[in-house]
């Protein structure tokens, strides 16, 4: 077994890998960027190395610097996690070329499965069912349009080197083919540097079911059953579960056998996922699934597989990378209970899922505990205890941490296991409903509404279902929001003492009693008059400051503040400072000390969440000082420009 491991990743997957390494006694080395100096994975690793700037291209994608960090710290191996360099065959070659152990599959396997047309050719040769389509070399428009006629509409255009939903276009009819083809090629070139595309017959009501496979250097290959990942938004997974709902045993055997065939055909080593597209318009059968692609890495959703099989897939990866055989034979891999996972993201569903960033002023995810809070005690075998619901939180953050603006918006995964699917959904829904996340926008309410919907509960959802129900799933419950505000109002109006002047029952001479308090509820001033004898709804509350509260309202966090009239008066007067509204990069500074400025004049421009934000002077005045240089990464609240006192 390895003695030391460098984790070439960040966030929740880095913390999750550290959890297993702690249990196995493996020394861990984290890498971090300028944006992650104080990140949780850095705090929990045994050692940490700075590898570059906040942009991923300067740090987590800097292969040369990461390998150098491994050599500097005496690491024996590199684990890539997922994303970043995890499926980069050249990086895998560079790692082994540097005399280090690579924690993923062989570079040639990554290459063969990385191109969708080549992967499908290999799958066909291995006897794995593949959708009708076109995957040949000719890429001229005439050939592609002719092949589209042969396949029939509707169909999908897919980038050969694609991933993450990019380079994909739906073509419903012949008249749309030319324009969508040009668009797909243009996006493929921009995203992957490869404009080649393939065509594929469209399954109009698709389900997404994938099989976890594992191989070793001794020729062994097994599966760990299937996961259903059909709940998706814009081809990005939202909720995953294992096993797949409604899966007959004969179909499970056919699908898992096909996945293992493919793994053996490419001499697969380590953790991999074989993804299938399934015709959701029909009951699951042996002729309703087709090979989609193979992901040559650990998947985000691997915890649900760990829960139903009682395994630790990261431990398996490390053992196989060390040259050991797969820890279990196929016949010894159990399938018990049902597990479900929700991806918690820093995004605003009601605002077209706009990503956000900032400091987590509150971060309490219901019933779950962080996997890495008790890293040394983590034992995958405990996952097989079915006597009660089990909860797990994989995250790279805690309250007080800052979510950077430059990386993926996923900040955590909440995972629950129960006896059956109904119990698992119910337990996860309840936990999400009691969650509080403040300081950033968050999608927890959206996730809970997905879980509670009758279509999802019945297992009748499909890949396009969220798009069909988007208005319902993103609409906040206004009654719950009002209940959250009333809860805080009731508490603030509660008598502070026992004297007659402390009574706050709203008594008035010659008039009916009335109690009113003005509060700021999610940025909106509201005059609230809760009845003195009304019992407030029992909702979880977090105190952010002496005058600011966060309330869990069915998954949506409601922020309730006592208005700060002194600060408002100062704001009306203009104030003296221009501060960064969120973490980001200062890309333009248009003033210097001594300059005269007018109110609303643009003084600085920031780049955050891949967008530019112009910052303006709060009043007429003279610049006293600037607080950052162009090109500098700044945190939320950093003073960028300060005016002379009025």
User: Which of 169, 227, 252, 297 is the catalytic position?
Assistant: 297
Least confident of 103-107, 268-272, 531-535: 531-535
In the annotation, is 354 catalytic? no
Q: Which fold would CATH assign to domain 480-563? A: Glycoprotein, Type 4 Pilin (3.30.700)
Domain ranges of the chain: 4-104, 132-201, 206-296+299-475, 480-563, 573-643
Is it true that domain 573-643 has CATH number 3.20.20.80?
no
When pLDDT is cut at 50, 70 and 90, the band that residue 502 belongs to is low
CATH 3.30.470.20 fits 206-296+299-475, yes or no: yes
Q: What is the per-residue pLDDT for 371?
A: 46
Q: What is the dihedral of CA 276, 310, 422, 464, to 10 degrees?
A: -20
Classify 132-201 by CATH class: alpha beta
What pLDDT does residue 584 have? Answer: 79
The residues with which 88 forms a beta bridge, in sequence order, are: none
- pLDDT surpassing 70 at residue 444: yes
Q: How far apart are CA 501 and CA 495, in angstroms?
A: 9
Which band of pLDDT confidence, cut at 50, 70 and 90, is reported for residue 632?
Answer: confident
- Tell me what percent of the residues of the chain surpass a pLDDT of 90: 76
Asked if the model's pLDDT at residue 495 lies above 70, the reply is no
Q: Residue 424's CB: how many other CB atoms inside 10 A?
A: 26
Burial of 545 (0-12, 13-18, 19+ CB in 10 A): exposed
Task: Take residue 199 and report the two structure tokens written for it.
Answer: 């065509």
The most confident of the ranges 164-173, 436-445, 631-640 is: 436-445
Beta strands at 236-242 and 338-345: parallel, antiparallel or unpaired: antiparallel
pLDDT at 99: 98
Helix 116-125 and helix 107-114, axial crossing angle in degrees, nearest 10: 100
pLDDT band for position 470 (50/70/90)? very high
Tokens of 77: 């191996």
Tokens of 426: 């119910």
Helices 313-321 & 302-309 angle (0-180, nearest 10): 100
Query: Which segments within 454-493 are labelled E, that is strand?
Result: none
CATH architecture of 4-104: 3-Layer(aba) Sandwich (3.40)
Residue 309 and residue 383: Cα distance in Å, rounded? 8
Q: Which residue has the higher pLDDT, 439 or 497?
A: 439
55 burial level (CB within 10 Å; 0-12, 13-18, 19+): middle
Of residues 165 and 272, more confidence is placed in 272
pLDDT band at 375 (very low <50, low <70, confident <90, very high): very low
Q: Model confidence over 215-226: pLDDT tens digits?
A: 999 999 999 999
């Amino acid at each position: 077994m390895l003695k030391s491991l460098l984790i070439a990743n960040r966030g929740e997957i880095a913390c999750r890998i550290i959890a297993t390494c702690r249990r196995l006694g493996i020394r861990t080395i984290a890498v971090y960027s300028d944006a992650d100096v104080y990140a949780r994975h850095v705090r929990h690793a045994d050692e940490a190395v700075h590898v570059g700037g906040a942009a991923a291209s300067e740090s987590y994608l800097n292969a040369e610097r990461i390998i150098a960090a491994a050599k500097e710290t005496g690491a024996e191996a590199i684990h890539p996690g997922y994303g970043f360099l995890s499926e980069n065959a050249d990086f895998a070659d560079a790692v082994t070329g540097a005399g280090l152990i690579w924690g993923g599959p062989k570079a040639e396997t990554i290459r063969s499965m990385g191109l969708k047309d080549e992967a499908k050719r290999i799958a066909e040769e291995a006897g794995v069912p593949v959708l009708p389509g076109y995957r040949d070399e000719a890429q001229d428009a005439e050939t592609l349009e002719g092949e589209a006629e042969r396949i029939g509409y509707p169909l999908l255009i897919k980038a050969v080197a694609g991933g993450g939903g990019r380079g994909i276009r739906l073509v419903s009819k012949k008249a749309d083919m030319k324009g969508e083809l040009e668009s797909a090629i243009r996006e493929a070139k921009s995203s992957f540097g490869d404009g080649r595309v393939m065509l594929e017959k469209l399954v109009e009501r698709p389900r997404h079911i994938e099989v976890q496979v594992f191989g070793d250097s001794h020729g062994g290959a097994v599966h760990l059953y299937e996961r259903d990942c059909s709940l998706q938004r814009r081809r990005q997974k939202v909720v995953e579960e294992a096993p797949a709902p409604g899966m007959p045993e004969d179909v499970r055997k056919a699908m898992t056998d096909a996945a293992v065939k493919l793994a053996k055909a490419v001499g697969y080593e380590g953790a991999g996922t074989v993804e299938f597209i399934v015709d959701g318009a029909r009951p699951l059968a042996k002729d309703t699934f087709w090979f989609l692609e193979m992901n040559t890495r650990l998947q985000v959703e691997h915890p649900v597989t760990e829960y139903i099989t009682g395994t630790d897939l990261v431990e398996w990866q490390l053992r196989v990378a060390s040259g050991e055989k797969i820890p279990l034979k196929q016949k010894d891999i159990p399938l018990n209970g049902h597990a479900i996972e929700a991806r918690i993201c820093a995004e605003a569903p009601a605002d077209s899922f706009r990503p956000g960033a900032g400091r987590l002023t509150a971060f309490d995810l219901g019933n779950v505990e962080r996997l890495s809070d008790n890293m040394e005690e983590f034992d995958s075998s405990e996952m097989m205890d079915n006597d009660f619901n089990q909860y797990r939180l994989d995250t790279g953050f805690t309250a007080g941490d800052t979510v950077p603006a430059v990386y993926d918006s996923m900040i955590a995964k909440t995972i629950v296991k129960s006896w059956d699917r109904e119990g698992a959904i119910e337990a996860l829904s309840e936990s999400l409903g009691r969650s509080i996340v403040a300081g950033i926008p968050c999608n927890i309410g959206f996730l809970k509404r997905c879980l509670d919907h009758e279509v999802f509960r019945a297992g009748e959802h499909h890949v396009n279902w969220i798009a069909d129900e988007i208005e319902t799933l993103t609409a906040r419950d206004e009654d719950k929001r009002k209940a959250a505000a009333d809860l805080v109002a009731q508490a603030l109006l509660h008598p502070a003492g026992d004297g007659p002047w402390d009574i706050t029952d709203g008594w008035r001479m010659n008039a009916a009693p009335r109690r009113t308090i003005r509060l700021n509820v999610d940025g909106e001033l509201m005059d609230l008059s809760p009845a003195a004898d009304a019992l407030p709804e029992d909702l979880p509350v977090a105190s952010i400051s002496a005058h600011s509260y966060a309330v869990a309202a069915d998954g949506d966090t409601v922020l309730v503040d006592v208005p700060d009239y002194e600060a408002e008066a100062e704001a009306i007067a203009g104030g003296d400072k221009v501060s960064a509204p969120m973490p980001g990069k200062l890309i333009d500074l248009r003033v210097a000390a001594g300059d005269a400025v007018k109110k609303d004049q643009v003084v600085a421009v920031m780049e955050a969440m891949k967008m530019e934000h112009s910052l303006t002077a709060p009043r007429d005045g003279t610049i006293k000082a600037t607080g950052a240089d162009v090109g500098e990464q700044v945190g939320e609240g950093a003073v960028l420009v300060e005016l002379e006192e009025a």
